[in-house]
Amino acid sequence: MLNEKMQGRIPAGRPALARLVAVWTSLLVGAVESRGSAADRDWSVYLGNQRRSSYSPLDQINRDNVSRLERAWTYDTREKAPYQTNNLVIGGVLYTVSPATRKVIALDAASGRELWVWGGPKQGEAGGTAGAARQSRGVVYWENEEGGEQRLFSAVGNYLYGLDPKTGGVIRSFGDEGAAHLGKGLDGMETAAVNYNTPGVIYKDLLIFGVSSGSPRGIRAMDVRTGEIRWQFHTAPRPGEFGYDTWPEGYDRNGISANDWSGQALDVVRGIVYASTKTAAPDFLGAARHGQNLFANSLIALDARTGKRLWHFQIVHHDLLDRDLPCAPVLLTVNHGGRKVDAVAQGTKHGLLFVFDRMTGEPLWPIEERRVPQTDLEGEQSWPTQPFPTKPAPLMRQYYTEADVSTISPEAQALTLARIRLSPNFGPFPAPSLRESVMFPGYNGGMEWGGGAADPEGIYYVNINEIPWFLQMVETRRADGTALAHGEYDYRALCAACHGLDRSGNPHIGFPSLIEIDQRRTRAEIERILVQGAGMMPPFDRVRENQRRAVIDFLLGQAPVLERQEKTPSATSTRAYPRYTFAGFRKFVDRQGYPGIKPPWGTLSAVDLNAGEIKWQVPLGEYPELSARGIPPTGTENYGGPVVTAGGLVFIAATADQMIRAFDKDTGKILWKARLPFGGNATPSTYMVNGRQYVVISAGGSRWGGPVGGSVVAFALPKPPVSP
């Protein structure tokens, strides 16, 4: 049995009465969540509904006819940037957010014709200096059916704006002349730099949301009419609050930032909101925050009316590896133990799926605390165990062994075999160390922000990345307390794993010595090798130019000599200059830039959560140049989620090959695919207008290089011929 203090949940109370209430409530929830209405034709909520299940009851497009799907219209935002918006469609109007400037745009959902554009705040207006626009995954729609009030909410920089859905005009009665600061209500954070990229959920007249970055550590409910904060939940508990003792006494919480950036799900009938949180910043340093660190890396159930904690489960304790919960929880109903259970499923970056009774917080299958490797860094402490569900099975490999080296070419096989021997993998929770290791599962999943979809049969569909990265910590100062020059620091982070801290290399496995490299290579030659790669070394063309220059300066003895500085303060001081720092996010790739591991590199899975079993798993995406060489589809790295429909289909783009696909939801067979103008790193939406069903997606590309744009692309079945 899990420790109640560690994994708090609602007490069972009177079992018989509780079971009876649960049965009746489940029946009511099922009736509300499955009822048909005009809203079934729309896609009025981020990810399809408040449950975040990305499910549509539409079935005009189905297994039998999806092969005839064709492009219906395209809208060009005339901007070029990553485009992650899940578009809303309400009453025949599509609402999207432009990828670069965060304009809100209304389109005729049947034709793509532009209806209006809100261009953001003007200088001198509320929020006119709102700060930089960042990626937005969509807008929030609220409607008061009795009074006929309607509002759209969209964020730009530090502000949330209330707009009229009919005109795009700012609603001046909301916030300060139409804008509410996202730091409002968080201990004087009204002037802080705060960002919000994932739409919140609506409960009655409350907008419940978290922020994606910035200092505020909380989940809040804002009045949709006034912008006033009605309640807030501290994800970094204050004195007297549950979980306060999981942090060091007197710890400065101003820099914790255990935010809820990946989104929330809402049980409308019960009035419970479920939120998933990120790592406690700084992501890779824990010396100043010894302890379990609630409520970082946690699934939290809150009373939507008051913000009171009902139960929680911490999925990663004292995270040192950037293992944020990457996606919103998904609510669904399953048949478990001979009865219907309303459940909540939470995916992770390490490819595990945790499933709980959404009312009590009890796991549907046992969860085991298993020992994990411990760090050897002075002043750091790894948490001794981490939770692992016994069901479902992991949706991806949990270890990288020599049996997993790349198989796409003899050269890739030799490179990856040598590298995994030099930088071994220690599973999903490697211990941070000065020695480089392979981080697999990687930083970007497993599951990523696109999350999963679920149908009424209790099947959960999700895409997975199987991409290895590197993990390494680097000392920021030498033994005498002096700071490292930039070139020496960058060399330690980028090159030392292969060539050694002393630059002597390892010629026996293909890593040459760099001592006196100036006697053998010119500066131009070294620069070319860094950019293009050579021998066993992959190209470092994606490393910033100033970093490459600094490394070359160091190798050629031209790095600046720094004056002696004061020694590093105590490692446990929250204001100390850290002794260690993360060496940076580096993918493990071969000379051609492909992932340094045996395929699959990306998959789509169906998981039967009635039984806790994987139903099917198939590669997601392919590289045409590898297919032309006779290599079966490898799957690609993927970002953006799936949509499942009553027509028996799973729609998903997400892949590096710029395709959108439809899979048979029962078998995983590809039934249709089409090329997008740019990569579709967003979750599709589906809706019906004038008796015609559409599938629409935002396509912006840029995740892997290649063409970049900002288009909204809609597909539909051909219109039937008009009778004479």
SS (H, E, C) 523-566: HHHHHHHHHHCECCECCCCCCCHHHHHHHHHHHCCCCCCCCCCC
pLDDT recorded at residue 4: 43
Least confident piece of the model among 155-169, 202-216, 246-260, 567-581: 567-581
pLDDT at 148 over 90: no
Residue 341 CA: distances (Å) to CA of 315, 360, 364 = 21, 11, 9
pLDDT at 377 over 80: yes
Asked whether the beta carbons of 322 and 284 are under 8 A apart, the reply is: yes
H or E element, residue 497:
helix 496-499
Architecture of domain 1-35+234-388: Beta Barrel (2.40)
The overall average pLDDT reported for the chain is 88
Q: What is the pLDDT of residues 622-636, one digit of tens each?
A: 999 999 999 999 999
On whether the 399-440+469-594 domain is CATH 3.20.20.70, my answer is no
Asked whether the beta carbons of 219 and 233 are under 8 A apart, the reply is: yes
pLDDT recorded at residue 258: 87
The C-alpha atoms of residue 273 and residue 301 are separated, in whole angstroms, by 6
The pair of three-digit structure tokens given for residue 620, joined into one six-digit string: 């997601």
H or E element, residue 16:
helix 15-34
Where do we find the tokens 């508990």?
237
In sequence order, which ranges of 556-593 are alpha helices (DSSP H)? Answer: none
- In this prediction, residues 6-18 reach a mean pLDDT of 50
The C-alpha atoms of residue 280 and residue 379 are separated, in whole angstroms, by 17
In sequence order, the 6+-apart residues with CB closer than 8 A to the CB of 591 are 411, 412, 415, 533, 538, 539
Least confident piece of the model among 20-29, 326-335, 690-699: 20-29
pLDDT recorded at residue 84: 95
Give a three-class secondary structure readout of 662-687: EEECCCCCEEEEEECCCCCCCCCEEE
pLDDT at 215 over 80: no
Q: Which residue has the higher pLDDT, 562 or 120?
A: 120
pLDDT recorded at residue 295: 95
pLDDT recorded at residue 36: 47
Closest CA to 343 of 293, 389, 308, 295: 389
pLDDT recorded at residue 503: 87
Least confident piece of the model among 38-42, 182-186, 349-353: 182-186
Q: Where in the chain is the domain with CATH 2.40.10.480?
A: 1-35+234-388
The pair of three-digit structure tokens given for residue 696, joined into one six-digit string: 């629409």
pLDDT recorded at residue 29: 58
Least confident piece of the model among 6-20, 353-367, 410-424, 535-549: 6-20
The C-alpha atoms of residue 660 and residue 102 are separated, in whole angstroms, by 24
pLDDT at 69 over 60: yes
Closest CA to 84 of 241, 255, 261: 261
Closest CA to 265 of 464, 478, 458, 51: 51
Instruction: Please report which confidence band the pLDDT of residue 27 belongs to, taking 50, 70 and 90 as the band edges.
Output: low
Q: What is the pLDDT of residues 546-572, one digit of tens each?
A: 888 999 999 998 866 443 343 333 333
pLDDT recorded at residue 581: 84
Q: Where in the chain is the domain with CATH 1.10.760.10?
A: 399-440+469-594
Asked whether the beta carbons of 279 and 297 are under 8 A apart, the reply is: yes
Residue 580 CA: distances (Å) to CA of 56, 284, 318 = 48, 9, 17
Q: Residue 586's beta-bridge partner residues?
A: 470
pLDDT at 508 over 60: no
How many CB atoms lie under 10 A from the CB of residue 128? 12
pLDDT recorded at residue 30: 58
Where do we find the tokens 């904060």?
229
Maximum Cα interatomic distance, the chain, rounded to a whole number of Å: 90
The C-alpha atoms of residue 424 and residue 438 are separated, in whole angstroms, by 6
- In this prediction, residues 93-114 reach a mean pLDDT of 96
Q: Above pLDDT 70, what percent of the chain?
A: 86
Side-chain-side CA neighbours of residue 166 (13 Å) = 5
pLDDT recorded at residue 214: 56
Instruction: Please report which confidence band the pLDDT of residue 9 belongs to, taking 50, 70 and 90 as the band edges.
Output: low
The C-alpha atoms of residue 457 and residue 441 are separated, in whole angstroms, by 29
The C-alpha atoms of residue 559 and residue 704 are separated, in whole angstroms, by 32
